[in-house]
Amino acid sequence: MKARKIMSVLMAGVLTLSMAACGETGTEPAAPTETEAPTEEAGNTGGEEENKPTPVEQPAYEIDPNASILFGDGSISFLGSDKSMNPSAGDLEMVVGDAGVRVTATDGGKMFVGIQMDELLGDKVSDVARVEFGLETQQGSSFSAKSGKIYTVLGGTPSNVPWSIFTEKGNPKAVGADISGAQAGDYIVLSLEESGAKEGLEGAELYINYITFKDAAGNTLPVDTSVAWKGVEGGPDTSNLYAVAGGVEYEANTSAGGWAQADILTLDEETLAKLVPGSVIEIKYSSGSGNMWIVMPGAAAGWMRVGVGDTDGSGQEYAYLNNSRDTAQITYEQIAAVCGDDTSTWGDRIQAESDADWEVYSVTIGQAAYNYSVANAVDITLPDATSADGWSQIGYIDLSDEALEKLHTPGSVVEIDYSSDDGDIWFGLSGDAWNRIGVGNADGSGTVDAITDGSKCFVTYDMIAEICGDDPEAWDKQFFIESDSHFEVYSAKVGTGVPFIPNNRQVDAGISGTGDGWAQIDYNVTLSDEALEALKAPGSVVNVSYTSETGEAWIVMTSGDNGWVRVGVGDYDGSGSSYAACNGSYCQVTHDQIAEAYGEDPDTWGNQIVIEASSAFEVFGVTIGQGPVAE
């Protein structure tokens, strides 16, 4: 197990922050009958174009001199890069100038600007009835239409009002959204998500000229611009990645320019001993392009890149990169495929490289495991005291009959939502015996490690069986939680474990939009030849970046030989099929799940995927990646 370190990079005039959010699962099946299969006309809200307002532009305005925020003091600490509305949103650069704040995305993608409304207004936040912005957009030398949304997050529930600038005459433009019942913890997100330019949002700039908060009588409310953006607390972005069990972290703090290399890890005897089959090297980094791979400069096989993919034209395998493009992983098997199985021939060091300016903050080596989602979950009721010091326990509660039944079912997973000073946590069962499960070597026992990332902890049925025996009926039922440092537990549950499959070489499927519960998006999209080829490949994974009110989503196959079939719906529609892996920010459906539900011949699957959920949902993007193929 390992400690997670929080690192930050501060640059003058630049604010770069990120965050994520997750949801809960729920059920309300409403499956169509065989004679009433969904069509684009009935049951589909994916055609968002027909819901967009008719373009009506107003003339450019004069900036309101009485606005709550004019940015004259240069303070933008209350702004931040938000990922609660779009988990795949990139980091932002925000700089104060004569026209207010200029916002650009470091990766040329969509922009989601968080505004810390509750802290800005203090005890006057409950008086807010409306927020207004003066917005201006620019992209290159010629005008192109832009649009986005004003998200108001009240009591944890987001709603949005679209805004658009369709013509150059209407640029800049005043936009706003009504607010009711704001309170502490509430915030606003201003987005720029769409562009009329052929090049998408590459090079787009969003200017926020002013921000005004008004009460019900239309009076402008004063604010304190010295407050800091907090956003929503969230764990690390583990999308597309392996979990790293029993990891050891090494400081790196190394940087270089594009296509330049620098050492990040020394391959001494101790380090090489950790690089065994099934191990993974995890790199925390930043890069102007978002790409990262490693170089083996002293390998007996020669100077070798590993994980570069086709970025250098070599057509090699890609590293595993998360959606935030701040974590990269290279497996032992990827290095061995290039340098051979004998680690003694790999040389004495590993270097990092990217195709743009880059910086590496830390390197971790551990065993590759799976991150999980937990479906059909039963909450484990915790005691009133949910924090303790190192080597103290909380709990000693008897699991309910329902929780025990779930725990005793092969394939079950216990999930603990927590924080701890060093990132470690595990649980135990006591009764006739007293057993820690997932402690690893923290107590010197060298037993199995729980899967932890400093925010979520997963312990599988097999881990429990390794400690407590193969007969679950003999397991003790008194449950406690422990760590070797001060820790706090927010929730615990047990249910069916659905693994997230790490995947790379991703292809954009071109799917996005919003829908209501049991509606589908996006019927107007058919998969490109490249995306269809990726889907048909053994080991393929469909990745959906989304949010939904109940936390789940799945896919529907619509155009193949077997007609209209849900895949990954689990028992939400009463079918009892397999569950997609979902955590409220991204979900996955695998090649094997499609084959099980739709037929084993990919040539019969058709060329369309639509997305569905049992509650209102929004899809930000869908990719098809390549996961490991079982031998």
CA dihedral 122, 126, 127, 128 (to 10 degrees): 90
528: number of Cβ within 10 Å: 14
In this model, does residue 105 exceed pLDDT 50? yes
Average pLDDT, the chain: 87
The predicted-structure confidence for 570-588, as pLDDT tens digits, reads as follows 999 999 999 999 998 899 9
Share of the chain above pLDDT 90, in %: 69
The predicted-structure confidence for 530-552, as pLDDT tens digits, reads as follows 999 999 999 999 999 998 888 89
The predicted-structure confidence for 32-62, as pLDDT tens digits, reads as follows 333 333 333 333 433 333 444 444 555 566 7
Q: Given this model, what pLDDT does residue 215 score?
A: 96
The predicted-structure confidence for 507-528, as pLDDT tens digits, reads as follows 999 999 889 999 999 899 999 9
- Tell me if residue 493 falls in helix, strand or coil: strand
User: Which tokens sit at 317?
Assistant: 């395998």
Task: Note the residue count of the chain.
Answer: 631
Q: How confident is the model at residue 16 (pLDDT cuts 50, 70, 90)?
A: very low
Q: How far apart are the two ends of the chain, measured CA to CA in Å?
A: 29
In this model, does residue 65 exceed pLDDT 90? no
How many Å apart are CA 361 and CA 352, to the nearest integer? 11
Within the chain, how many helices (H) and strands (E) appear? 7, 40
Q: Beginning with the edge strand found earlier in the chain, give each strand of the sheet holding 205-214 in spatial order.
A: 92-97, 100-105, 205-214, 130-138, 173-178
Share of the chain above pLDDT 70, in %: 88
In this model, does residue 497 exceed pLDDT 80? yes
In this model, does residue 211 exceed pLDDT 80? yes
Q: Given this model, what pLDDT does residue 358 score?
A: 92
In this model, does residue 118 exceed pLDDT 60? yes
The strand pair at 426-430 and 434-437 is best described as antiparallel
In this model, does residue 621 exceed pLDDT 50? yes
Q: What pTM value is reported for the model?
A: 0.71
Q: Given this model, what pLDDT does residue 631 score?
A: 57
How many Å apart are CA 22 and CA 450, to the nearest integer? 21
- Backbone torsions φ then ψ of 403, nearest 5 degrees: -65, -40
| pLDDT (mean) for 301-319 | 95
- Backbone torsions φ then ψ of 151, nearest 5 degrees: -95, 130
| pLDDT (mean) for 586-611 | 97
The predicted-structure confidence for 433-482, as pLDDT tens digits, reads as follows 999 999 999 999 999 999 998 889 999 999 999 999 999 999 999 999 99
In this model, does residue 28 exceed pLDDT 60? no
User: Which tokens sit at 53?
Assistant: 């307002």
The full set of domains in the chain, from first to last, is 52-214 (2.60.120.260), 243-369 (2.60.120), 371-499 (2.60.120), 503-626 (2.60.120)
Q: Given this model, what pLDDT does residue 172 score?
A: 92
Q: Given this model, what pLDDT does residue 58 score?
A: 55
How many Å apart are CA 472 and CA 407, to the nearest integer? 8
In this model, does residue 402 exceed pLDDT 50? yes
In this model, does residue 18 exceed pLDDT 80? no
- Tell me if residue 604 falls in helix, strand or coil: helix
The set of residues, in sequence order, having a beta carbon less than 8 Å from that of 580 and lying 6+ positions away, is 498, 552, 553, 554, 555, 567, 568, 569, 570, 587, 588, 589, 593
The predicted-structure confidence for 232-276, as pLDDT tens digits, reads as follows 655 678 999 999 988 899 988 899 999 999 999 999 999 999 999
Residue 401 DSSP one-character state: H
Q: How far is CA 85 from CA 150, 193, 361, in A?
A: 11, 11, 27
| pLDDT (mean) for 477-492 | 94
The strand pair at 320-321 and 262-266 is best described as unpaired
CA dihedral 552, 556, 562, 563 (to 10 degrees): 130
| pLDDT (mean) for 278-303 | 94
In this model, does residue 21 exceed pLDDT 60? no
- Tell me if residue 148 falls in helix, strand or coil: strand
Q: How confident is the model at residue 427 (pLDDT cuts 50, 70, 90)?
A: very high
